[in-house]
Structure 1
Amino acid sequence: MQGFINLNKPFGWTSHDCVAKARKLCKLKRVGHAGTLDPAATGVLPIAVGKATRLLQYLPSDKAYKATIRFGMQTTTDDLQGEIISSQPGAELDLAQIKTVLAKFIGKIEQIPPIYSAIQVEGKRLYDLARQGAAVEVPPRTVEIYRIEILDWRVGDFPELDVEIACGGGTYIRAIARDLGTVLNTGGTLAALVRTQSSGFNLADSLTLDELEAQLSNGTFQPTPPDTALQHLPSVTLPSISAQKWCQGQRISLTPEITDQVRVYEATRFLGIGELQAGVLIPQMVFEPIA
């Protein structure tokens, strides 16, 4: 078996837990995932099985989420899983105030990741350092937010905002919740998160672990073909002789003279990933060599 599983990650599971479960269900050792999800988040977690694990690095990085932000509260983890740092009712906050500042979060922005995150600083995970009580300066990173759409607004002592966010890879939605609360002088934390799109996979087409297990048991499961997940890349098709040379690590002259990462085929057979540089196709990853 080789290809991708569009998994709907359950609440409370780590991404590593899901990989371990998929490895057991599929009876395969080579299993990996794209785009880590926090245990408290649910939704799309692409799982690669078999040789498709070699393709994880080539998946598109764009993601989309539905998030609930609670105002009037700050926590150590920037979500409801952490300890409360401050709590002050924000009933006076209204939607008009939020709309005036949301524009600051669109486009390329500087974001400081949550202290409880998997980012490494000096070779150690931030969440490990945080649990040890170490004082760590978290470096900011540039992320890109394509769109934030307001879905719902609920008033109360701790009002909540439901939003849909489309963004580039590396974006922390917890940090958006925290920073939005800071700008509004109310405090803010992430109350719920569902990833609706990741690396070209959508929530509507995803499988729960129970559904995956049932399909594997009755023999109906078919993983997403390896190259289907790479449709964001242009493709080139080689004749048989050139395809064999390319699979052996040789460079192939092609036109037009462009620079781009491409899917490589012989007829309809997916061979791997190459890079076109000035009319020369250079092997990057040979997925299916020709004997």
Structure 2
Amino acid sequence: MLSQGFLNLNKPYNWTSHDCVARVRKLLRLKRVGHGGTLDPAATGVLPIALGKATRLLQYLPEEKAYKATIRLGVRTTTDDLQGEIINSQACAELNLAQVKTALSKFQGKIEQIPPSYSAIQVDGKRLYDLARRGEIVEVPVRTVEVFHIEILDWREGDFPELDVAIACGSGTYIRAIARDLGAILETGGTLAALIRTESSGFNLTNSLTLTDLETQLQAEIFQPISPDVPLQHLSSVTLPLTAAQKWCHGQRISQTFDVSGIVRVYDQQTRFLGIGQLQDEVLIPQMVFEAIS
């Protein structure tokens, strides 16, 4: 069975990303399994899983992500989602959609964001969620993130109104922090009520597999990993003739004229994906050799 490439997994509710990796490793009987872009246990949706040598390609995946989120206003929690303890709760039935739209517009573009206290970010080598669970108060560093687009999908009035939004953003953006900060601007409090990741690192929810789907395909012996270069289409590509391809696969630099630059996908003339290279001054330097040819 082919076991080099990617799995576009639809992460189930209440599973950690690590849980998913462990399950896939067991199902495929494969040691080298990794994931891209951690999802909180309460979130579902796209979790890219790398299999075999493809784990070394995770660093080259595109960073853009997209989510569908439900934000509940009038509530603040310790974790900025419904998994935490309620810090404050106040009915805000008078809040209207026009006010929410005005406040939400402040979250588009490059914004400064303080990640939630319960997150996987490290401060002095320790995870924030570990520090928070021990009751240690630390200063969480502000980070600059980018939100490309926010679209309001639905608005439900009530004592604790809820807002459904679609968000397209760059890597490192915390949707929980957007929910919290939206509530702060509106002076009502806000928390994340539900989250689905619809796109991540070149994969989308439409083509994802659940763990049950994966088990079914494995039992029927029809599972095929996604080719390793499929999510790398954002990178330019170069094609090498046979002799140059052989040398490159053995770690040698190739000097010739190319019409692209930077990090690139490398192929041979039979369109085999050989790996990732970096072009510097018309010299192709191996970065990750995926498949060697003799």
Q: What's the TM-score bracket when you normalise by the shorter of the two chains?
A: over 0.9
What does residue 88 of structure 1 align with?
Answer: 90
Distance between the aligned counterparts of 1:96 and 1:191, measured in 2? 21
For the residue of structure 2 that corresponds to 1:128, the secondary structure is: helix
| Aligned partner of 2:273 among 258, 270, 275 | 270
Q: CA offset at residue 254 of structure 1?
A: 2.7
Q: CA offset at residue 258 of structure 1?
A: 4.5
User: Which segment is superposed worse, 252-261 or 6-15?
Assistant: 252-261
What does residue 223 of structure 1 align with?
Answer: 225
Residues 183-211 of structure 1 show CA distances to partners (whole Å, capped at 9, x for unaligned) of: 01000000000000000100000011001
Distance between the aligned counterparts of 1:259 and 1:24, measured in 2? 40
Q: Aligned runs of 1:134-283 on 2, under 5 Å? A: 134-256=136-258, 258-267=260-269, 268-283=271-286
Q: Which amino acid aligns with 1:178?
A: R
Distance between the aligned counterparts of 1:115 and 1:38, measured in 2? 13
Q: Which amino acid aligns with 2:268?
A: E
Q: CA offset at residue 257 of structure 1?
A: 5.8
Distance between the aligned counterparts of 1:254 and 1:108, measured in 2? 39
For the residue of structure 2 that corresponds to 1:226, the secondary structure is: coil
Q: Which runs of 5+ in 2 are unaligned?
A: none
Maintained 8 Å contact 1:260/1:276: yes
Residues 210-253 of structure 1 show CA distances to partners (whole Å, capped at 9, x for unaligned) of: 01000011111111000112111111000011111111211112
Distance between the aligned counterparts of 1:2 and 1:272, measured in 2? 13
Distance between the aligned counterparts of 1:257 and 1:287, measured in 2? 23
What does residue 26 of structure 1 align with?
Answer: 28
Distance between the aligned counterparts of 2:19 and 2:260, measured in 1? 42
| Aligned partner of 1:38 among 27, 37, 40 | 40
For the residue of structure 2 that corresponds to 1:46, the secondary structure is: strand
Maintained 8 Å contact 1:108/1:143: yes
What does residue 72 of structure 2 align with?
Answer: 70
Maintained 8 Å contact 2:238/2:258: no
Maintained 8 Å contact 1:258/1:278: no
User: Does structure 1 residue 99 correspond to structure 2 residue 87?
Assistant: no
For the residue of structure 1 that corresponds to 2:191, the secondary structure is: strand
Distance between the aligned counterparts of 1:258 and 1:214, measured in 2? 42
How many aligned positions are there?
Answer: 291
Q: CA offset at residue 93 of structure 1?
A: 0.6
Distance between the aligned counterparts of 2:4 and 2:258, measured in 1? 32
Residues 103-145 of structure 1 show CA distances to partners (whole Å, capped at 9, x for unaligned) of: 2100111000000000000000000000010010000101000
User: Does structure 1 residue 117 correspond to structure 2 residue 124?
Assistant: no
Distance between the aligned counterparts of 1:289 and 1:136, measured in 2? 48
Cα 1:132–1:235 shift into 2, 3 Å: same
Distance between the aligned counterparts of 1:188 and 1:278, measured in 2? 51
- TM normalised by structure 1 equals 0.99
Residues 21-52 of structure 1 show CA distances to partners (whole Å, capped at 9, x for unaligned) of: 00011110010100000000000001111111
Q: Which amino acid aligns with 2:121?
A: I
For the residue of structure 1 that corresponds to 2:141, the secondary structure is: coil
User: Does structure 1 residue 12 correspond to structure 2 residue 18?
Assistant: no
